[in-house]
């Protein structure tokens, strides 16, 4: 990372002085988190530009701990005096004690920024043309497409993390996203189709990715759903298409493996390390180093190196995800899962890219082996109780399976079940792993970018909340 990345805030003497101030009232540990965030977006709706917005946010969050107590303050005033006031406020909130001098700062500030073309260097006209091109491709599919909306967004986030343990690391993250939503009109009403592409890369994404093909897929999905029949009700085998159901494992299983929820007793997986919690065919991983996926980071928001963490291996629960404070109190190493929405937020345990690993079965064999069931191509949003694992997810694209073949499209309905039960009842896993669409994970009022995915797999039984008998 360039020493110019965050200007004078990369001055080690300034950071050292801020940490010393934070610990001057008896702090036992102190951290400075500096963030420079730039973002821009464009909405193209019904053949015209609806909005173009850009923003920049720069500031610092300072955290101090004394025993189990934590004080936190943030400021957009990055002068020496502004940082000093925030440091003293955080120290006061953490209560007083004996002053401990921080050690010398170390680290190289390594960065993972993979952007070859920074989006900020690309003209607005080029970005608008991209959205027009996507819109036109969707509309050309069929006259039944009556509405198209396209959203483009870009963001660059540069951070510096330093603490009294001597950590001094930074990251430079560029993300870019394009989504298209199509509405088709038919005799039975309106149906929607959506496609999204997003990676931790720069504008070169659109030299490598066919946005017109993406738009046509979204349009065809909406048109296909015009012929949808009511979904069945009751318990059936469910085959989930590769990449289409990763959100289920993120929400229904992943959150329950975050150490803060485990500590609070809000996880069904508490005190179960070493136990068989899933089918022996299941290995669940969280990996922040995963290529250019949406949740990929070089360091987490506490300065810890990102890493690959195996959470469930061959069905056995092997570990939880950890942030700095939980790992410190437990006498173990952090797992690179301490994340925060911005400098105005305190970090907590969060996922990065969470996925089920490949199996050995051909995906078409999974379908042909299913006499009757539901094929889920895409899950939507849902609700999860992490303490019990119970969930409800919307099926935004699903089909009936009859005699081992995918047949009629189904109207949108709910998929109802329990996360631990799903893990135990996964009976077939394909060899066609794929990540799903980029997402934003919400937790305690904070949102962070995450990825999820899985190969095609079959769950022996789930409840379908349809209306057909």
Kindly state the helix (H) or strand (E) to which residue 439 belongs, with its residue range.
strand 439-443
**452: helix, strand or coil:** strand
**71: helix, strand or coil:** strand
Residues 97-126: what's their mean pLDDT?
69
- Indicate whether 72 and 220 sit together in one domain: yes
Average pLDDT across the chain, whole number: 92
**413: helix, strand or coil:** strand
Measured N-to-C along each axis, helices 124-139 and 211-224 cross at an angle, to the nearest 10 degrees, of 40
Report how far residue 395's alpha carbon sits from residue 414's, in angstroms, rounded to the nearest whole number.
6
The owner of tokens 């069945």 is: 232
φ, ψ (nearest 5 deg) of residue 433: -50, 140
- Indicate whether 106 and 238 sit together in one domain: no
Provide the pairing of β-strand 426-429 with 439-443: unpaired
Is 67 part of a structural domain of the chain? Answer: yes
What percent of the chain is predicted at pLDDT more than 70?
94
pLDDT computed for residue 67 by the predictor:
86
Which is nearest to 131 in space by CA: 42, 243, 31? 42
Token couple for 4: 């110019």
Is 423 part of a structural domain of the chain? Answer: yes
- Indicate whether 215 and 239 sit together in one domain: no
Token couple for 13: 């003497």
Number of domains within the chain: 2
Provide the pairing of β-strand 338-339 with 348-349: antiparallel
Biggest CA-to-CA distance, the chain: 75
User: Cβ of 218: how many Cβ atoms within 10 Å?
Assistant: 25
Q: Per-residue pLDDT for 123 more than 80?
A: yes
pLDDT (tens digit per residue) in 235-268: 999 999 999 999 999 988 999 999 999 999 999 9
Token couple for 367: 């379908």
- Domain boundary among the residues 227, 262, 291 is at 227
- Indicate whether 217 and 316 sit together in one domain: no
φ, ψ (nearest 5 deg) of residue 226: -65, -25
- Indicate whether 243 and 162 sit together in one domain: no
- Indicate whether 316 and 216 sit together in one domain: no
pLDDT (tens digit per residue) in 86-109: 999 999 988 754 444 444 555 555
Is 369 part of a structural domain of the chain? Answer: yes
Please provide the distance, in angstroms rounded to a whole number, between the alpha carbons at the two ends of the chain.
Answer: 60
Report how far residue 289's alpha carbon sits from residue 309's, in angstroms, rounded to the nearest whole number.
10
Which is nearest to 152 in space by CA: 178, 128, 129, 133? 178
Domain that holds residue 337: 233-465
- Indicate whether 276 and 151 sit together in one domain: no
Q: Per-residue pLDDT for 449 more than 60?
A: yes
- Indicate whether 47 and 169 sit together in one domain: yes
Is 398 part of a structural domain of the chain? Answer: yes
Residues 394-404: what's their mean pLDDT?
96
- Indicate whether 48 and 159 sit together in one domain: yes
Cβ pair 142, 223 in contact under 8 A:
yes
Is 316 part of a structural domain of the chain? Answer: yes
- Indicate whether 188 and 307 sit together in one domain: no
pLDDT computed for residue 3 by the predictor:
43
pLDDT computed for residue 6 by the predictor:
55
- Domain boundary among the residues 227, 245, 277 is at 227
- Indicate whether 401 and 444 sit together in one domain: yes
Q: Which pTM does this prediction carry?
A: 0.93
Is 162 part of a structural domain of the chain? Answer: yes
User: Cβ of 121: how many Cβ atoms within 10 Å?
Assistant: 9
- Indicate whether 198 and 298 sit together in one domain: no
**99: helix, strand or coil:** coil
- Domain boundary among the residues 197, 227, 257 is at 227
Is 1 part of a structural domain of the chain? Answer: no
- Residue 48, burial from CB neighbour count under 10 angstroms (0-12, 13-18, 19+): exposed
Is 136 part of a structural domain of the chain? Answer: yes
The CATH number of the domain holding residue 112 is 3.30.2290.10
């Amino acid at each position: 990372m360039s020493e110019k990345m965050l200007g004078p805030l990369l001055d080690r003497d300034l950071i050292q002085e801020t940490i010393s101030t934070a610990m001057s009232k008896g702090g036992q540990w102190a951290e400075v988190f500096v963030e420079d965030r730039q973002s821009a977006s464009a909405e193209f709706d019904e053949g015209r530009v609806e909005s173009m917005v850009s923003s920049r946010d720069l500031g610092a969050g300072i955290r101090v701990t004394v025993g189990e107590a934590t004080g936190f303050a943030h400021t957009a005033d990055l002068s020496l005096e502004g940082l000093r006031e925030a440091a003293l406020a955080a120290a006061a909130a953490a209560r007083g004690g004996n002053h401990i001098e921080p050690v010398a700062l170390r680290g190289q500030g390594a960065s993972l920024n993979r952007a070859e073309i920074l989006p900020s260097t690309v003209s607005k006209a080029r970005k608008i043309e991209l959205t027009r091109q996507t819109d036109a491709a969707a509309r050309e599919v069929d006259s039944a497409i009556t509405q198209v909306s396209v959203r483009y967004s870009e963001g660059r986030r540069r951070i510096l993390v330093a603490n009294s343990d001597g950590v001094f690391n930074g990251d430079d993250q560029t993300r870019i996203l394009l989504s298209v939503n199509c509405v088709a009109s038919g005799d039975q009403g309106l149906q929607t189709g959506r496609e999204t592409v997003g990676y931790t890369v720069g504008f070169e994404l659109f030299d490598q990715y066919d946005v017109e093909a993406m738009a046509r897929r979204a349009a065809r999905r909406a048109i296909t759903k015009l012929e949808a029949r009511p979904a069945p009700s009751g318990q059936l085998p469910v085959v989930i298409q590769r990449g289409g159901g990763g959100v289920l494992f993120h929400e229904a299983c992943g959150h329950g493996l975050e150490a803060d929820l485990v500590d609070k007793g809000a996880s069904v997986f508490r005190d179960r390390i070493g136990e068989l919690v899933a089918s022996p065919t299941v290995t669940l991983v969280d990996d922040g180093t995963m290529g250019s996926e949406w949740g990929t980071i070089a360091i987490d928001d506490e300065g810890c190196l990102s890493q690959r963490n195996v959470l469930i291996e061959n069905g056995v629960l092997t570990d939880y995800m950890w942030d700095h404070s939980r790992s410190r109190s437990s006498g173990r190493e952090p797992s690179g899962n301490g994340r925060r929405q911005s400098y105005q937020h305190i970090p907590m345990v969060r996922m990065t890219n969470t996925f089920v690993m490949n199996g050995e079965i051909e995906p078409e064999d999974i379908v042909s082996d299913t006499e009757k069931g539901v094929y889920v191509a895409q899950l939507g949003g849902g609700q999860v109780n992490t303490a019990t694992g119970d969930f409800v997810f919307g099926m935004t694209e699903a089909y009936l399976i009859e005699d081992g073949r995918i047949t009629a499209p189904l109207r949108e309905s709910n998929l109802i079940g329990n996360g631990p039960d799903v893990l135990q009842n996964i009976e077939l896993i394909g060899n066609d792993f794929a990540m799903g669409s980029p997402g934003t994970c919400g937790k305690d009022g904070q949102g962070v970018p995450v990825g999820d995915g899985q190969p095609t797999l079959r769950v022996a039984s789930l409840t379908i909340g349809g209306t057909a008998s």
